Amino acid sequence: MDISQENCNEDLDSLSKDIPVLSEYAKGLETHVKRRYLQKISLVGVDPASIPSDQFDPECLPSIEATDLVSYLVLETSYYTKQQFKCYKSLEAYNKMVSGFVTSVQGKIIAGKHVVVGKVRLPQRMNDPLVNIWVITESDGTILAAHCLGCKAGLAESCSHIASVLFYIEAWIRINGKLACAQVKCSWLLPTYVNEVSYERVKDIDFSSSKKVKENLNEKINSLEDKAAKPAGNHRIQSSYKAAPLQQRKLEHCLQN
């Protein structure tokens, strides 16, 4: 074992010491991938893949905005390739989100950060297990780290699975920010999760492109804004609720649970 190899192992040992429980997934990673994984999860001191799903809350999501998506998916540099992610699969990711291939997106606050887990289905392989991903963000939505448990190491930080969950959270936050005023349930608007693909008669298939679906979703979200701007009846109560910053309301919600 040469000196650099020895340093690597020491580094790995000291990193793992701070994480009480490692998932089987993390334990099975190759050394250099595992080191990177440990560096990322040391942000919260817990391996998100080892947390039981009943400890997460679907309402506890970070305030990810479009700018956070751009910073992470486009400008962030890949740890492995030293190249910008360039959002190379962003459209594919958006397609997945609007097509309902994203499910079980839920979060939890750990060490002052948001840890979000989510599942994504592979479109061509409807019977395969769902792909698990996790994301760590600041409460203001800044994306600090992400990991896909279904993709190869080099791609696992910016794959379309991660991107589609990020798009989902961004849409959820946009809708939720307006819901407080318009009092509509978020789940009514987000694409319904596709559980299975059945054979349909051609006339029943929705051939609108995902671009059109995206436009429709944006239209729905914007119409909420209009409703919120013209509340009927209990105007005063609604506008005072609206005055509380979304981030603060969300933090209060997460801390209550």
Binding residues for Zn ion, rule: CB under 5 A, are 148, 150-151, 159, 161
Smallest distance from the beta carbon of 7 to Zn ion, in angstroms? 30
Cβ contact 37:12 at 8 Å = no
Strands, E assignment, the chain: 102-110, 113-120, 131-137, 143-148
8 A C-beta contact, residue 210 and residue 98: yes
Name the 3-class secondary structure at 48: helix
Nearer to Zn ion, 137 or 160 (CB): 160
Minimal distance in Å, beta carbon 83 to Zn ion?
17
- Nearest approach in angstroms of CB 54 to Zn ion is 24
Q: Which is nearer to Zn ion, 68 or 157 (CB)?
A: 157
CB of 115 to Zn ion, least distance (A): 18
In the bound state with Zn ion, the residue whose beta carbon lies nearer, of 87 and 159, is: 159
Q: Residue 151 CB, nearest distance to Zn ion (Å)?
A: 3
**Are 170 and 98 in contact, with CB atoms under 8 Å apart?**
no
- How far apart are the C-alpha atoms of 161 and 118, rounded to whole Å? 9
Q: Which is nearer to Zn ion, 156 or 175 (CB)?
A: 156
93/228 with CB nearer Zn ion: 93
Nearer to Zn ion, 161 or 178 (CB): 161
Shortest distance (Å) from residue 155 CB to Zn ion: 6
Dist. CA 29–CA 32, nearest whole Å: 8
How many other CB atoms are there within 10 angstroms of residue 201's CB atom?
A: 6
Helix (H) or strand (E) holding 95: helix 90-98
Residue 110, beta-bridge partner list: 113
Closest CA to 137 of 54, 68, 225, 240: 68
Measured CA to CA, the distance from residue 35 to residue 105 in angstroms comes to 26
150 vs 191, beta carbon nearer Zn ion: 150
Q: Closest separation between CB of residue 156 and Zn ion, Å?
A: 6
Angle at the Cα of 28 (from 24 to 34), degrees rounded to 5?
105
